[in-house]
Amino acid sequence: MVGYYNRGNQFALLPIQTMTDMTVKINFPILSKIQDDDEQLLRAYKKLLTVPLFLLYPLLTGMAVLGEPFILLLIGEKWLPCVLIMQILCIGYMFSPLTYINLNLLYVKGRSDLVLKLELMKKPIAFLILFGTIPFGLIPMVLGVAVYDFIAFAFNCYYTGKFLHYGIGRQLREIFPIWINCAIMAAVIYAVVYFLDSPVLKLVVGIPVGMFTYWLYARFTHDVNLQEVVGIIRSKLLRK
């Protein structure tokens, strides 16, 4: 059972850690230069928060919806029990990038002491959730991990709200449209691949359908994050 958890956790964490590490490493020097200008820092922070999530969330959603064919083709039928674990964590871990980005703001502000304070406050909660869910089995424990991920995000938002007046409520409102888009994308993928038997066919059909649905909704709603991504791509191409 531990092996199934490790596999599911590994697949769910990989895109999150990659995106978060890239975002923090690239933006930390930029944010540090404007750490004393709260208005400019807030504008940059909003972009740092939403644009990476605009790219990451549909990937996690797609992995959750197409988890079974993904696991079957990648590591085989014997690992199918890790599908549900991966699906839960793909959704539950959506708060992980927000948690790290909020912590990064404290480093930008030179307040690493508050990072330590937050970690000391969160650890007892993590242990309580872990030991409280272990007796009920693996899936409740995985759900507990997902719940803790949101709690950690809520804790880390406290100082973001204090320094920039950009707390948990405002952050959730910023990313809510992305969640709506992901939910629509998930429903469309599920409906399209439901009657397909072949895992290969499910991925070959489901992935492009999901990408197109996500792009179409973002285009239809004039999502500013799509405009930002297109602008970044164009600037990269023009440099070449």
The two tokens of residue 98 are 């927000």
Does 182 have pLDDT greater than 90? yes
- Of residues 203 and 101, the one with the higher pLDDT is 203
Amino acid at 166: Y
Least confident of 40-54, 170-184, 216-230: 40-54
Q: DSSP secondary-structure letter at 17?
A: H
Average pLDDT over residues 155-170: 85
Amino acid at 232: I
Q: How many domains does one find in the chain?
A: 1
Average pLDDT over residues 184-197: 94
State the virtual CA torsion across 134, 135, 136, 142 in degrees, nearest 10: 0
Read off the pLDDT band of 17 (50, 70, 90).
Answer: confident
In this prediction, residue 240 carries a pLDDT of 59
Q: Identify the H or E element spanning 50.
A: helix 38-65
Mean pLDDT of the chain: 88
> Which of 154, 165, 26, 149 lies closest to 91 in space, CA to CA?
149
Report pTM: 0.88
Q: Structural domain of residue 229, as residue ranges? A: 2-239
- Of residues 108 and 174, the one with the higher pLDDT is 174
Integer Cα distance of 179 and 61 in angstroms: 9
| Helices 2-33 and 96-108: angle between axes, nearest 10 degrees | 30
Average pLDDT over residues 138-155: 91
